[in-house]
Amino acid sequence: MRLGKLTAGVALLCGAAALPAQGPTYVIRGGTVVPVVGANIPNGIVVISNGRIQAVGANVTSPAGATVIDATGLFVFPGMIDAGTQLGLTESGSVPGSEDTREIGDFNPQNVALTAVNAHSELIPVTRVNGVTTVITSATGGLMSGSAALMDLLGWTADEMAVKPRAAMVMTYPSTGGGGGGFGGGGFGQNQPSAAERRETMNRQVRELRQFLADARSYAAVKSKLGADAADGPRVNQKMEALIPVVRGEMPVIFDVNSADQIRGVLTLADSFKLKVIIRGARDAWRLADTLAARAIPVIVGPTTQAPGADDPYDMLYAQPGALAKAGVKIAFQTSDASNSRNLPYNVALASAYGLDSTEAIKSITINPAQMFGVADRYGSIEAGKVANIVVTTGDPLDVRSTVKHLFIRGMKVPLTDRHTDLYEQFRARPKP
């Protein structure tokens, strides 16, 4: 258990709401502070205590007794946020016993991803040592996969890690591609459904999805009319209960989609049910960039490390984030994976090489996702009062050649060790023959 390596005597993490009441005070000084909101501060100072950023600036007084981190020649960034991963829900893809990513059935809004997050997954330290401090993790598949958790990558338990235990509902809009429906995907070569059959399945799934949301809307309406404790109200239905904040427009819905048709379907659904939607994956979002910008619908792009469709331009997935940002769409990035979540900044780097402005690039993995999930008051930038998730690097975090020198999550200085560095050190020390 890697948390054991944290400095002894440090007040340990409390729950999402209650940050550590006390802890050491750190002063990071001498580095270039990139607050993300506002101009960079050369030779800046960041003061951290009680889990929060207490002060930021060029002329900040260091509190007495603080531990000073010399960041001369280094860069100070907010921790990065992966807006789509299965971190904590899977250990190894070929070991079914380690997988909690896909439930049976198409409608599971009642499932809470945080429930299955293994706080002691070896993948978590591996991810955070690259500067990814916060993630949206969720199950996938079906039409409603359940709620996603927004969590910091540090904590003795999943509850301690949680920033927002139920940050968004995850849904998949039906398509003819066979994805999302959860009907087994067919086999190789045989019993492949025809185009007409696939279209029929898609239409049926759209009807089911709409019906389910309509039911939830009625359920929520009855509940409001009767009041929460009414004895003669409808029987408690866990699936419906889970959707109440969704149909009230309080909880955002992440829609995993790809095609322009699916995105249009989501927009129609959002209009019908007054949903607060976030489009994710969205290979074809660039075709609807103007619409998405005008409607202020955010898009979580990525992973960029995928092959574009056969008829797409070679640079489609690299260039789409820049095209969306240019059109005025707010974007964030996902890795859509657990073992590759550590590659979040390098996904963004590929987009920055193909037209995503470097300032937008950093925003898309810090303040933008914080805004999408309603935590921008606490996350996504280096500002006084915010949670002290901070990465001190040798350079641009998007640059593979840069390395992380110091890592803070909720004001705790996290050791830059993981299963991989342990094995590295172990075998590096193997005596030469």
Partner 1 sequence: MTSGIGRVPAEGGWGESGIGPVGRVAAAALSIAGFAVAAPLHAQATGAARPPAAAPAQGAAAPTLDLTAVSLPVPPAGRLVAITNATIMTASRGTIPKGTILIRDGKIAAVGADVQVPAGAKVIDANGKYVTPGIIDAHSHSAAEAINEGTLSITSMVRMEDVLRQDGVSLYRQLAGGTTTLNILHGSANTIGGQNAVVKLRYGLPVDSLLFEGAPPGIKFALGENVRQTNRNLQAGQQGRYPRTRMGVEDLLRDAFTRAQEYQREWQQYEQRRRTLSGAARAALIPPKRDLELDPLVEILEGKRLVHCHSYRADEILMMLRVAKDFGFRVASFQHVLEGYKVADELAKAGSGASTFADNWAYKMEAWDAIPHNAALMAERGVVVTINSDSDERARRLYQEAAKAMHYGGTSEEEALKMITLNAAKQLGIEKRVGSIEVGKDADLAIFTNHPFAPSSRVDMTIIDGRVFFDRSTSPTLEHLIEQMRARQRPRVTSEEQ
Q: State the nearest-atom distance from the C-beta of 125 to partner 1, in Å.
A: 13
| Position 287 contacts partner 1 (CB under 8 A) | yes
| Contacting residue, 151, 168, 338, 414, with partner 1 by CB under 8 A | 338
Binding mask 351-390 for partner 1 (x = CB under 8 A): -xxxx--x--------------------------------
Q: Which stretch binds partner 1 (CB under 8 A): 25-33, 53-61, 271-279, 282-290?
A: 282-290
| Position 99 contacts partner 1 (CB under 8 A) | no
| Position 157 contacts partner 1 (CB under 8 A) | no
| Contacting residue, 108, 259, 335, 366, with partner 1 by CB under 8 A | 259
| Position 1 contacts partner 1 (CB under 8 A) | no
| Position 225 contacts partner 1 (CB under 8 A) | no
**Contact in structure between 413 and 154 (CB atoms under 8 Å):** no
| Position 123 contacts partner 1 (CB under 8 A) | yes
**Contact in structure between 151 and 162 (CB atoms under 8 Å):** yes
| Position 343 contacts partner 1 (CB under 8 A) | yes
| Position 108 contacts partner 1 (CB under 8 A) | no
| Position 95 contacts partner 1 (CB under 8 A) | yes
Q: State the nearest-atom distance from the C-beta of 217 to partner 1, in Å.
A: 29
- Omega cis (within 30) before 303: yes
Q: Which is nearer to partner 1, 9 or 433 (CB)?
A: 433
Q: Which is nearer to partner 1, 308 or 415 (CB)?
A: 308
| Position 257 contacts partner 1 (CB under 8 A) | no
| Position 401 contacts partner 1 (CB under 8 A) | yes
3-state secondary structure string, the chain? CHHHHCCCCCCCCCCCCCCCCCCCCEEEEEEEECCCCCCCEEEEEEEEECCEEEEEECCCCCCCCCEEEECCCCEEEECEEEEEECCCCECCCCCHHHECCCCCCCECCCCEHHHHCCCCCCHHHHHHCCCEEEEEECCCCCCEEEEEEEEECCCCCHHHHEEEEEEEEEEECCCCCCCCCCCCCCCCCCCCCCHHHHHHHHHHHHHHHHHHHHHHHHHHHHHHHHCCCCCCCCCCCHHHHHHHHHHCCCCCEEEEECCHHHHHHHHHHHHHHCCCEEEEECCCHHHHHHHHHHCCCCEEECCCCCCCCCCCCCCHHHHHHHHHHHCCCCEEECCCCCCCHHHHHHHHHHHHHCCCCHHHHHHCCCHHHHHHCCCCCCCCCCCCCCECCEEEECCCCCCCCCCEEEEEECCEECCCCCHHHHHHHHHHCCCCC
Size of the site for partner 1 (CB under 8 A): 62
Q: State the nearest-atom distance from the C-beta of 195 to partner 1, in Å.
A: 11
| Contacting residue, 197, 200, 312, 377, with partner 1 by CB under 8 A | 312
**Contact in structure between 6 and 49 (CB atoms under 8 Å):** no
Q: Which is nearer to partner 1, 72 or 426 (CB)?
A: 426
| Position 310 contacts partner 1 (CB under 8 A) | yes
| Position 307 contacts partner 1 (CB under 8 A) | yes
Q: Which is nearer to partner 1, 250 or 290 (CB)?
A: 290
| Contacting residue, 108, 134, 147, 320, with partner 1 by CB under 8 A | 320
| Position 17 contacts partner 1 (CB under 8 A) | no
User: Cα–Cα distance between 124 and 129 in angstroms, integer?
Assistant: 9
Q: Which of 69, 125, 39 is nearest to 342 (CA)?
A: 125
Burial class (CB in 10 A: 0-12, 13-18, 19+), 239: middle
Q: State the nearest-atom distance from the C-beta of 364 to partner 1, in Å.
A: 13
| Contacting residue, 185, 191, 229, 314, with partner 1 by CB under 8 A | 314
Q: Please report, as residue ranges, which positions from 167 to 186 form the binding site for partner 1 (by CB under 8 A).
A: 176
| Position 196 contacts partner 1 (CB under 8 A) | no
Q: Which is nearer to partner 1, 215 or 399 (CB)?
A: 399
> Rule CB under 8 A: which residues touch partner 1?
91-95, 122-123, 176, 259-261, 284, 286-288, 290-291, 305-308, 310-316, 318-320, 323, 338-339, 342-343, 346, 348-350, 352-355, 358, 396, 398-403, 419-421, 423-424, 427-428, 430, 432-433
